[in-house]
Amino acid sequence: MESLYSEIVVAGCGNPLFADDGFGPAVVEKLKDLELPENVTVVDAGLGGPHFVFTLLNPESTKTLIIVDIADFGGEPGELRWLSVDELPVGSYRDAHSWDLTEPLQYIKDDIRVRVLACQKKYVSSPEMVIGITDEVQRAIPDAVSEILKEIGVNYGTA
Amino acid sequence: MTKVVEISPTTRLEGHSKLTLKVDDQGIVERGDWLSITPVRGIEKLAIGKTMEQVPKIASRVCGICPIAHTLASTEAMEASIGCEIPTDAKLLRIILHAANRIHSHALHNILILPDFYIPGTEKKFNLFANEQPARSVMARIVRIREIAQTIAAIAGGEAIHPSNPRIGGMYHNVSPRAKQKMADLAKECLVLVHEQMEFMLDVIRNMQNREFVEVGGKQIPLPKKLGYHNQGVMATAPMYGSSSLDDNPTWDFTRWKETRPWDWYMGEVTIDLEDPSYPIGGTTKVGTKANPQMESCTGVPTYDGQPVEVGPRARLATFKNFDEKGTFAQHIARQMEYPDCCYTILNCLDNLNTSGKVLADHIPQGDGSMGWAANEAPRGSNIHLARVKDGKVRWYDMLVPTTWNFPTCSRALTGAPWQIAEMVVRAYDPCVSCATHMIVVNEKEKIVAQKLMQW
């Protein structure tokens, strides 16, 4: 268990039952294998980002929120890209209550630094259930981990 | 003359559902069908052949709202099948996790229903996102309650949303004495807040009960005193946690459960002949559209003793605490009354938790294919997972989640309500539609469902 209400929150969003949509949780799983600084909390946000993640951010202590998810930005499958909140299309992230994530992110972006690490999806099976991330997106996981480590200022001497 | 009106999709609940309503000349529902239109996903089939450790992880992903309830029910269904008793301290951590889940889920539900209600003493509807009081302080309190409950869940369960600590045979880790103290501090702070929140909500709900009318889409709609009443029974397995087939005296009986096909229950094809473009949000379905609830429903109809039953907070309070109110407002009231119990449960468990105690069973059998079930009282009601595990692999799996039970019961409870407030009746069940969606395979005579319909 990381420290409560930490400075940096990394939230992996998505559902591993829908093929590449499992990217966010898979990155979180890899990050959890590492020794991370005390000021970092890594959360597998699943599908509940909009209504779960915001109550884990404390405006007094949280400085950075890093969201990890798949996206369709027209890149090659597995390509990673850092996006700002302003680049997220309205309605692109909705939870099961039809709550939009983009709008609340707009609200908090002046108080909390929000970074979105997006991976170009290849195949999302929703609503059919398919377990397993495509090879291209799978290969992006280690790069995503090192991108996040760079972002949170961790250097294991491998970079 | 009976007319048919349809609200699709319903709003401010989890997942996609719709209401097909036959109404009289006054717009009062004569027969209502509430059904899931979330696509069937076949989770139970996906589980077959997986290891007993994998399936709880899979089950936790069927919905973004209640991963905790599904992780725990699924894990315990596996344990029930293989006959594995877990250490007391592991059980205490699970109960803490479960109670924390109920707190933040109930708080979320407050956000979803409050826009239906009025600020007591005024004619003003609640807008929780407004800057004015009392909306601002109520929202701040709800957010803090959720923050605390998720943090307690994170400490006991390893993670706030998808708990990583529960495992077959117990838990991966116990907590440190410091973490135990932190949970106790948070639960005490939460206790004060949930008391305030409960009292506030009870005021709001009682105020609404005393109203004659409610405004929907710019019209005054009469509010019946018996809103949401039905004659079905209630089902609950425990006031707080749950029961499993490993218990000496299980409080749920597998043999009393049957599942019926939706086409034996819901109405057949109808044509919409009443519409209201002013109904929020975006109006009702257009006149001339065909609807066929029998074919469109994506859930089976579970029955207990041959009848649909209500599950959830009112069912729990009626079963275990002699709560005798009925209907939509009683469900809301019961839900608020559960808030403090959750905090007391967490504090009691912490009092008994030995942070040096072991949290994993010495021996974890691999199973001989026996049927095991576990029910936990999820925020929305009895969440029953059933499994057969043999040689560590899941051979059969089923999930009877709360909203599956509530769909047919709530459909009956719609009768007598003005159609414009049918959604209020639905919302009182705190529906969680996504995980309720699963394909049934047998009818009441244990026959496989018609192939034609399976293909559909």
Q: Cβ contacts (< 8 Å) between A17 and chain B: which residues?
A: 41, 43, 46, 58, 61-62
How far is B107 from chain A, CA to nearest CA, in Å? Answer: 11
Better-scored residue on pLDDT, A129 or B452: A129
Let me know: does A152 contact A10? Beta carbons within 8 Å. Answer: yes
How far is A55 from chain B, CA to nearest CA, in Å? Answer: 5
Neighbour tally for B28: CB within 10 Å: 15
A8-152: CATH topology: Rossmann fold (3.40.50)
pTM > 0.90: yes
* Cβ–Cβ gap A58/B162 under 8 Å: no
How far is A48 from chain B, CA to nearest CA, in Å? Answer: 5
DSSP string, B272-293: -----TTSTTT-SPPTT-EE-H
Residues in chain B predicted with pLDDT less than 50, given as ranges, are: 441-444, 448-456
Give the model's pLDDT for residue A1. 41
Let me know: does B408 contact B265? Beta carbons within 8 Å. Answer: yes
- Evaluated on CA atoms A27, A28, A29, A34, the torsion sign reads positive
* Cβ–Cβ gap A55/B143 under 8 Å: yes
Residue A48 has its nearest CB partner, among B13, B161, B182, at B161
Could you tell me the pLDDT band of residue A95, with boundaries at 50, 70 and 90? low
Structure ipTM over 0.85, yes or no:
no
Give the model's pLDDT for residue A50. 79
* Cβ–Cβ gap B41/A43 under 8 Å: no
Residue A127 has its nearest CB partner, among B39, B143, B151, at B39
Listed residue (B2, B3, B36) closest to B19, CA to CA? B36
Let me know: does B134 contact B109? Beta carbons within 8 Å. Answer: no
Give the model's pLDDT for residue B450. 40
Residue B65 has its nearest CB partner, among A25, A48, A98, at A48
Helix H or strand E encompassing B377: strand B368-378
Q: Cβ contacts (< 8 Å) between A56 and chain B: which residues?
A: 147, 150-151, 154, 160
Q: Cβ contacts (< 8 Å) between B131 and chain A: which residues?
A: none
pLDDT, tens only, B106-150 = 999 999 999 999 999 999 999 988 899 999 999 999 999 999 999
Which of B159, B176, B189 should we substitute to test contact with A (largest number of A Cβ atoms within 10 Å)?
B159
Q: Catalogue the long-range contacts made by B311-314 (C-beta closer than 8 Å, 24 or more residues apart).
A: B311/B234, B311/B235, B311/B236, B311/B380, B311/B381, B311/B382, B311/B402, B311/B405, B311/B406, B312/B380, B312/B381, B312/B402, B312/B406, B312/B429, B312/B430, B313/B337, B313/B338, B313/B379, B313/B381, B314/B234
Give the model's pLDDT for residue B106. 97
How far is B236 from chain A, CA to nearest CA, in Å? Answer: 26
Give the residue from chain B lying closest to A41, CA to CA. Answer: B159
| Beta-bridge partner residues of A118 | A69, A81
Q: Is A60 on the interface with B (CB under 8 A)?
A: no
Give the model's pLDDT for residue B455. 41
Give the model's pLDDT for residue A2. 43
Q: B439-453 in b/e burial notation, b at 16+ Cβ within 10 A? A: ebbebeeeeebeeee
Q: Is A33 on the interface with B (CB under 8 A)?
A: no
Q: Cβ contacts (< 8 Å) between A47 and chain B: which residues?
A: 61, 63-64
Let me know: does B296 contact B37? Beta carbons within 8 Å. Answer: yes
Q: What is the dihedral of CA B298, B303, B307, B313, to 10 degrees?
A: -90
Question: Which residues lie below 8 Å from residue B415, measured CB to CB, with a gap of 6+?
Answer: B29, B30, B31, B32, B230
Neighbour tally for B14: CB within 10 Å: 29
Give the residue from chain B lying closest to A22, CA to CA. Answer: B61
Helix (H) and strand (E) counts in chain B: 13, 17
How far is B158 from chain A, CA to nearest CA, in Å? Answer: 6
Give the residue from chain A lying closest to B182, CA to CA. Answer: A4
* Cβ–Cβ gap B39/A98 under 8 Å: no
Q: Is A4 on the interface with B (CB under 8 A)?
A: yes
